Amino acid sequence: MNRVCEILGITKPVVQAPMTWITSPELAAAVSNAGGLGILGFNAGFETGKATPEETAEEMRKMVRRTKELTDKPFGMNVMTSAFDAAGFSKATIRMCKEEGVAVLAAIGTLDKDQIREWKEAGFKVIYRDMSPTVASAKAAEEAGVDILVATGCDEGGGMPIEETGTIVKTAIIADAVNIPVLAAGGIVNEAMARASACVGAEGAYAGTRFILSEECRAALSVKEDILNTGADDYVVLTEGDGYLKWRSTPHKTALEAIEENRKGNLRPSTGSFYAGMLKGDLEAGINTVSSAACLIKGIDPCEVIVNELARGYGC
Ligand SMILES: Cc1cc2nc3c(=O)[nH]c(=O)nc-3n(C[C@H](O)[C@H](O)[C@H](O)COP(=O)(O)O)c2cc1C
């Protein structure tokens, strides 16, 4: 049996990756009902941001309960490790997840070995994604007790890794370095890309962009159409002044202006721009960030169709 399926208690090794603002109970449940693993991302299903960790956790509790109404299958929650969570937002959410019996934590941020041990002792399955993965961090995560690793290449949508290694090479390197299962993240948008990642050692997909173009994703229709209308040569990469944060974006007005602003050292992409751009569809005010493989996606499909297609790439 596929090890990812075995560990997560699912039937298809396809994880819907967390995406700030645009995931929801409906999306996560649809993926889990199709046999994959749905994940509630930051502000999943929220209409507005919450000011405190406690308010955030309570709003997220409603989303967890709604997800449980829609599926009896496992699903996960996106959290930050301690190093990324100075204000305690994830800490409060994790406490709530324990109370509500959420099965899986999908963590980003610098590895904290003690924290991983606590999560494991609390009964969570842990998927860990170093945003700029290295062999050293993969080995450290394996040693710390992480169940499943994500190998993120710079083909991904959202915040891109600092190092410009593509998904296939990154997956091959990480899968070669560890014994725990590895999910490929970045450009896994169809069966062929899934199969390519399987050939180099991935045992499943951690797919974000493909699920934006699902019927159940609450991203604005104008955003979905913008992605479908963007050609392979049209993406732009937005970089913060310090060169660290990079987002691949469709080339709407804001993105082009943002490049100009970036040249002047003024660019400040924030989660606010995801809210305006991707959730509300205001492409003048926000960013529409996607994988470099987004142009390979040919339509807006039900999650079940997407899960089945990607799973075939892993022989499931
Ligand atoms: C619009 C968007 C928002 C994202 N937001 C988050 C986030 O809040 N937390 C996170 O851990 N990853 C986030 N990611 C990264 C995804 O979890 C995943 O690693 C990535 O989408 C995989 O690459 P793909 O988009 O090519 O499938 C985001 C990705 C996208 C496209």
pLDDT tens figures, 119-167: 999 999 999 999 999 999 999 999 999 999 999 999 999 989 888 899 9
Among 156, 190, 271, residue to substitute to test ligand 1 (most atoms within 8 Å of Cβ): 156
Residue type, 213: L
pLDDT tens string 220-248: 999 999 999 999 999 988 776 665 678 88
Residue 301 CB less than 6 A away from ligand 1: no
| Mean pLDDT across 106-110 | 96
Q: What is the pLDDT of residue 176?
A: 98
User: Per the domain annotation, does 222 fall within a domain?
Assistant: no
Expressed as residue numbers, the domain containing 250 is 236-279
User: Are 287 and 191 within 8 A, CB to CB?
Assistant: no
> Can you give the pLDDT at residue 284?
76
197 phi/psi in degrees, rounded to 5: -70, -35
Regarding whether 8 and 40 lie in a shared domain, the answer is yes
Residue 154 maps to a domain: yes
**What is the Cα 236 distance to its own chain's centre?**
20
Q: Which residue is closest in CA terms to ligand 1's atom 5?
A: 19
Q: 272 and 202 share a domain?
A: no
pLDDT, tens digit, for every residue of 67-106?
999 999 999 999 999 999 999 999 999 999 999 999 999 9
155 domain-assigned? yes
Q: For residue 205, give the 3-state DSSP assignment.
A: strand
Domain with residue 18: its CATH number is: 3.20.20.70
- Looking at the structure, tell me whether residues 206 and 256 fall in a common domain: no
What's the burial of 299, exposed, middle or buried (CB within 10 Å: 0-12/13-18/19+)?
exposed
| pLDDT at 175 (0 to 100) | 98
- pLDDT attached to residue 63: 98
In this predicted structure, what is the pLDDT of residue 243?
A: 56
pLDDT of residue 269 exceeding 60, the answer is no
Inside any domain, residue 45 = yes
pLDDT for the residue numbered 272 = 56
- Which of the listed residues 15, 16, 19 should we mutate to test ligand 1's pocket, taking the one with most ligand atoms within 8 A of CB? 19
The pair of structure tokens assigned to 217 is 């994703």
pTM of the model: 0.96
pLDDT at res. 258: 65
pLDDT surpasses 90 at 253: no
Do 149 and 274 lie in one domain? The reply is: no
13-22, 44-53, 165-174, 278-287: the lowest-pLDDT one: 278-287
Q: Is the CB of 41 under 6 A from ligand 1?
A: yes
Beta strands in the chain (DSSP E): 14-16, 38-40, 75-80, 104-108, 125-129, 148-152, 182-185, 204-207, 236-239, 246-249
**Is there a domain that residue 225 lies in?**
no
- Are 109 and 200 members of one domain? yes
Q: Is the CB of 156 under 6 A from ligand 1?
A: yes
**For tokens 């040693």, what's the residue?**
143
The full DSSP string for 245-302 is -EEEE---HHHHHHHHHHHTT-----HHHHIIIIIT--TTTS--B--TTGGG--S-B-
pLDDT (average), residues 273-285: 85
Q: 9 and 36: one domain? A: yes
